Structure formats: structure tokens, C-alpha cells
């Protein structure tokens, strides 16, 4: 056995799987003694997602040596969705059979349901994390972020963020409609750090909307960005893990 892990919440794991499936057609996993990791780009390279689930976040974790495997995001997501709020999920890599075994275990009754997801052929590219100095760091409740993106979508397909040391403004403007949201510390921001007098950057609403599947798995979200620079969107995963998105900015005319 090269990899076996038991995650305590199948419902939380389901949202993680949905999030990964939104980005790419295939999910490249790397497992080692430190945990389970994914880092991949969307086909159009506008978004990169990085998943970290440390070994301590699992109830049980066995991985004596680093191993990699690739699964179809659609098949993985369909299977993960079968987990209920009462289930744990066990992941076992069966390399000899070219498959990932996923077993849902009812926490109260102990009965099990087992599925097999076939592995895909391919080489996993180890993508470097962007090394950027982002002057804006904002933390807010995940639901507030979700409402912001949903509001903007009603008006247009782009959202501009304007940050100053006193406030964060989000706005979407089209010839027919306009949307403004001015946020300050404690109204509703948890924290706001802006290292420049003013920072402006615009992003596609559709790209930010992709991140919203992670809202169900995390109470807060951290946004980091700079003028016309990628936005880093970080959701904390139970057990000390994280889901990190890098979203490319929209070019301004």
C-alpha cells in the first residue's frame, strides 16, 4: 500500500472535490508523509489552484514514500458527492489495479459504501507558487465574499477592487447598470492591510465565482492583490489545510 488516508468529514471533502473539478479536467495528486497536495492550472491558464491537506488533518494517514496519481475530476467529483454529513471517507491508492478506492464509512452505524475511481495516465508537473509582493491583504467572512460576487454578477462580467488603508471598494459598471460595495474594518471586514495609498485591479466575475464552491468548507476567506496583478484567494480547510486560488487580472484598456 502506497497511500491510505481517512478524512473525518465526507461532506467537507465533497466541497473540496467540487472546487477542484471546477478548475481542471484532471486532478493531479501528490501524497507524501506531510499530507495530500494538488496544484494545477485551468486549461486557459487564467486560474491556478493549490490544495494542501496536512497529514494531521486526517484521522488516519499512511504514506511511507512520495507517490503521485491522476484522476478524472468529473469521476472524482461524482464519487465524492455520494458522501453524507454522517460519513468519513477513506482513500486508498491501488496502483497495481490502476485505481483509487473511496469508501464512505457511517460514523454511527459503521456500514461502508465503496467506489473505485480509475487512474489516468500522465506526468504531474510540479508548478511553482507565484512569488509576488501583493500590497493588499483583506480577510472577511466567506459568505460576505460569496454575496459580493453574486451581487456583481447581476450587473456585469468584471469586478474592480479599489483598496486604500481605510476601505475596500468593489464595483461593477456597465452602460445599463452599476454596483458598488464599500467595506471597512468590522463593516464587514475582519482585517484590512493596504501598503500603498491606493491599489486598483479588475478580475472576471466568472473566475472569482469558481472559487465559491470552497465557501462551504471554510468560514473565512483572505484576498491578496496588487494593481493589475493576480489575486490570491485563500480558504482555510479544516485541520490546518488550505485551498488557494491564483486568479489572473483583466487587462484594462
Domain range enclosing 58: 4-120
Question: Is 131 inside a domain boundary?
Answer: no
* Residues 213, 158 share a domain: yes
* Residues 106, 166 share a domain: no
* Residues 163, 109 share a domain: no
* CA-wise closest residue to 75 among 15, 19, 21: 21
What pLDDT digit, counting tens, does each position of 199-240 carry?
999 999 999 998 888 887 788 999 999 999 999 999 988 778
Give Cβ neighbours of residue 160 (< 8 Å, ≥ 6 apart): 170, 171, 172, 173, 200, 201, 202
Question: Is 126 inside a domain boundary?
Answer: no
* Residues 158, 89 share a domain: no
Question: Is 173 inside a domain boundary?
Answer: yes
Please give the tally of structural domains in the chain: 2
Per-residue pLDDT in tens (0 to 9) along the chain, 253 residues: 689 999 999 988 988 898 889 888 999 999 999 999 999 999 888 999 999 999 999 999 999 999 999 999 999 999 999 999 999 999 999 999 999 999 999 998 889 999 999 999 988 888 888 889 999 999 999 999 999 999 999 999 999 999 999 999 999 999 989 999 999 999 999 999 999 999 999 999 999 998 888 887 788 999 999 999 999 999 988 778 899 999 999 876 5
* Residues 111, 147 share a domain: no
Q: Which of 120, 150, 180 is the last residue of a domain?
A: 120
* Residues 230, 153 share a domain: yes
* Residues 141, 88 share a domain: no
Q: What is the pTM of this model?
A: 0.90
How much helix, strand and coil, in percent to the nearest 5, is found in the chain?
Answer: 20, 45, 30
pLDDT score at 208? 94
* Residues 97, 60 share a domain: yes
Instruction: Find out whether 203 and 148 touch, Cβ atoms under 8 Å.
Output: no
pLDDT score at 244? 94
Question: Is 127 inside a domain boundary?
Answer: no
* Residues 215, 179 share a domain: yes
d(CA 155, CA 175) in angstroms, rounded, equals 10
Mean pLDDT rounded to a whole number for the chain: 93
Instruction: Find out whether 15 and 212 touch, Cβ atoms under 8 Å.
Output: no
Q: Which residue intervals of the chain are DSSP H helices? A: 10-23, 73-80, 142-155, 205-210
Amino acid at each position: 500500500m502506497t497511500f491510505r488516508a481517512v478524512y473525518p468529514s465526507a461532506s467537507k471533502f465533497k466541497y473540496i472535490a467540487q472546487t477542484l473539478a471546477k478548475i481542471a479536467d484532471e486532478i493531479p495528486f501528490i501524497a507524501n508523509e506531510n499530507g495530500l497536495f494538488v496544484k494545477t492550472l485551468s486549461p486557459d491558464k487564467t486560474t491556478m489552484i493549490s490544495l494542501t491537506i496536512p497529514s494531521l488533518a486526517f484521522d488516519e494517514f499512511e504514506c511511507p514514500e512520495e507517490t503521485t496519481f491522476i484522476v478524472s475530476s468529473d469521476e472524482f467529483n461524482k464519487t465524492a458527492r455520494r458522501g453524507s454529513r454522517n460519513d468519513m471517507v477513506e482513500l486508498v491508492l491501488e496502483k497495481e489495479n490502476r485505481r483509487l478506492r473511496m469508501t464512505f464509512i457511517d460514523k454511527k452505524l459503521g456500514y461502508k459504501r465503496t467506489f473505485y475511481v480509475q487512474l489516468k495516465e500522465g506526468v504531474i508537473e510540479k508548478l511553482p507558487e507565484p512569488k509576488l509582493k501583493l500590497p493588499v491583504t483583506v480577510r472577511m467572512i466567506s459568505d460576505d465574499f460569496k454575496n459580493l460576487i453574486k451581487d456583481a454578477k447581476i450587473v456585469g462580467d468584471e469586478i474592480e477592487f479599489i483598496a486604500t488603508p481605510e476601505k475596500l471598494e468593489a464595483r461593477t459598471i456597465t452602460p445599463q447598470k452599476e454596483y458598488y460595495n464599500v467595506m471597512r474594518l468590522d463593516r464587514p471586514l475582519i482585517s484590512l492591510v493596504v501598503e500603498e495609498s491606493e491599489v486598483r485591479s479588475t478580475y472576471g466575475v466568472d473566475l472569482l465565482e469558481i472559487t465559491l464552491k470552497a465557501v462551504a468548507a471554510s468560514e473565512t476567506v483572505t484576498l491578496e492583490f496588487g494593481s493589475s496583478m493576480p489575486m490570491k484567494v485563500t480558504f482555510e480547510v479544516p485541520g490546518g489545510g488550505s485551498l488557494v486560488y491564483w486568479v489572473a487580472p483583466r487587462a484594462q484598456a
